[in-house]
Structure formats: C-alpha cells, structure tokens
Amino acid sequence: MKEIVFVENHKNFNALRLGLRLAQHLQAEGHEVILAGRKGKLPLHAGVRVREFAPTAKNSTLATAFAKEKADRVISFVSLPACEAAATAHLPYLYVEPENFKEEKAVKNKATLLKNAKKVIVIGNDEKALDKKRYGKNAVRVKNPAVSVEHNAWDRPSSFKKANNVVASGKFAKNGGVDKLLAAWAKLAPAHTSWHLTIWGEGPSKAALKKFIAKHNLQDSTEIVGTDTELSSLLRAADVYVHPALQADDLDTVLDAMASRLPVLAADMPEIQNYITNGLNGSLSIAGKEDALCGALDSLLVDWGKRVGMAVEAEKMKNRFPFEIFASFLED
C-alpha cells in the first residue's frame, strides 16, 4: 500500500511528532510512505521519503500531486486542505486532530470533510462519550501516545558542546518559564562546567533571552535553537529534560521525554502530576519560584543515581500510552 501522511503544525498542536512517527511505523510494516507538508516544516533526515509543498499551494495542486503519486490513501494530521485535496483526487482519507481543536482560520466545509472521511481520529483523554455530531459517525477517540526516541550520544547535535546536556523546550513568552530557567542556570553554570543547556522554542521574548545570555556570559554553556531544529534530535542526545512552563502547555513533550528514558524536571501543576510523581519518575518544582527550580535542577545535575532511577521509571510511559494502539486505529 502507498500512503501519504500529511502534517500541518499549528501553534497549539505539534502534528509532526505523531505524523513522522506514524510514517516510520508504516514503512517498517512494509508500506510505501511519503511524509508530506509545508516547505521548511519537515525534518531533513526523516528516514522516509519527504515531499514539501509551498505554504500557498492550492488544493488543486495538492490533489494533482496526490494523484500522480498513485497513492492508495491519505492520512491527514490537522490539515483539512489535505483532506479536500484527497477527496478531489478521489482518494480515501483519514483525519487526525486533538479534541476540541480550533483552526486558526475557520473552514466552512469541515463538517462535510469529516463526514466523508474513512475515519476521524480524535486525540483526547476525556472519559465522556465522544461528540459524534461534531466529528461524524466514523470518529473514535484515542489517547495521546508517547513518542519515544533512542539515545544516540555518538550523534549529538552541533549545539551540544559539552559532555552532559540539559534540554528544555517552551514558549518564549509570558508564563513560558524560560526566563526563570535562565536565571537559575546563571547561578548553576559556574559550578557545573561540564554541562550545557539547549533551549528549544520560539516567541516574542527570544531577543531578550539572548541578551540575558550575553549579559551573564553564558554563551559557552547555553544555546537557544529554533523550532526548525527537530526536538527529537535534541532528546536523543540529552541527559536531563526541563519543562519550565508555568501553565499546562505542550505536555506532549513531557510525555515524549519521559518515554525516551529521560529524567524530567517540570513546574508542579495538576496536569503535570498526571505524568510525574515527584522523586519517583521525575522532579517537580514550585511553579514560578526561581530558587526552587535552581535547587531541583542542581540536585539532578549532581546526582547520577537519582537521574538513572527516575529515567528507568519514566520510561514506563511507553506502556501507559503506547504508540502501537494509536497506530492500530489508522490501519485498515
């Protein structure tokens, strides 16, 4: 079977993490797979064939490309234009989106596209019955799966300059928590000269964060990288992952880091507690308290045994949220 997996990232949902993992899974199952998406948004080394389209590409352009590829079906992650293009090309399509997702721009024919989908996969943890009126009779709810990566210390990204590496991700904006993390790091870095901090993300305060790094002479121990870098490549070579957000944002990165056997440090919030038991499979600090964050991170950096113990427990997330169950809902 030849399949096109089309991913469309949105500011509140990273479709690539699931789309790429699904494409790799299907290829391992013997399918011919194309990972498709907007130009500049797809990984350079996906392990599967990649096809990019201009951000302004019309649905007719997508439909023609799908037909020329002689695909058997299209799996679309939060891209209704890809669904419309598949319909135009007379191809069956499946659609995936998080529950209660809202497009940045309203799509007038969304209800029709969902109704005509072979299957609609809704990612959510709600226990109440799925709203079939909204999603269509072919809709099913699936829990957000963990997307783990194998550690390849021998293939560290160029941003990693030292032996031990802390990776953090977040929004460079209010409540993103990255400013608190950098303030804590300014105190810790002089005492932990073998460690390097890489911060992944984007946002309006990026310039201010870079100024802070320069002002405190953290250039040798700290680097900010944009979202055009694959977060999975950073996790692959990390030793500790920090989620500094002061609100429940992008929790899929916490899930993925834990499943990737990394000790995780995060701000203590009810949503985070669904994943992390403090001291067992991760570490929680008081949200918004720089000193608490500093102390918790220092404890992880100095205690190798603690990191290993947490990592072993954290990896069990792969069993709690198995990707294979998610993928099974996309099979014929």
- Residue 128: pLDDT band (50, 70, 90) is confident
Alpha-carbon dihedral of residues 91, 43, 170, 161, nearest 10 degrees?
170
What region, left, alpha or beta, does residue 283 occupy, with left being phi > 0 and alpha being psi -120 to 50 degrees? beta
Q: Output phi, psi for 111, to 5 deg.
A: -60, -40
pLDDT at 150 over 90: no
Radius of gyration of the chain from its Cα atoms, rounded to whole angstroms: 21
Write the CA distances from 241 to 177, 232, 244, 271, 285, integer angstroms.
14, 12, 10, 17, 13
pLDDT at 159 over 90: no
pLDDT at 155 over 60: no
Q: Are residues 46 and 176 in the same domain?
A: no
Adjacent-strand bridge partners of 38: 53
pLDDT score of 102: 82
Span 272-314, pLDDT tens digits:
998 999 999 999 999 889 999 999 999 999 999 999 999 999 9
pLDDT score of 157: 57
Q: Are residues 244 and 206 in the same domain?
A: yes
pLDDT at 158 over 60: no
- Residue 250: pLDDT band (50, 70, 90) is confident
pLDDT score of 196: 95
Question: What's the CATH code of the domain at 272?
Answer: 3.40.50.2000
Write the CA distances from 100 to 7, 96, 125, 221, 232, integer angstroms.
18, 12, 11, 40, 26
pLDDT score of 40: 83
Q: Rounded mean pLDDT of 232-247?
A: 91
pLDDT score of 320: 92
pLDDT at 268 over 80: yes
Q: Are residues 304 and 181 in the same domain?
A: yes
Q: Are residues 120 and 166 in the same domain?
A: no
Q: Are residues 192 and 46 in the same domain?
A: no
Q: Are residues 80 and 105 in the same domain?
A: yes
In terms of residue numbers, what domain contains 82? 2-145+322-328
Span 220-233, pLDDT tens digits:
999 999 887 888 88
Q: Are residues 123 and 162 in the same domain?
A: no
Output the average pLDDT for the chain: 91
- Identify which has the larger pLDDT, 160 or 149: 149
Q: Are residues 227 and 164 in the same domain?
A: yes
Tell me how many domains the chain contains: 2
pLDDT score of 14: 82
pLDDT score of 80: 93
Q: Rounded mean pLDDT of 6-20?
A: 86
pLDDT at 193 over 90: yes
Q: Are residues 117 and 202 in the same domain?
A: no
Q: Mapping DSSP to helix (H, G, I), strand (E, B) and coil, where does residue 289 land?
A: coil
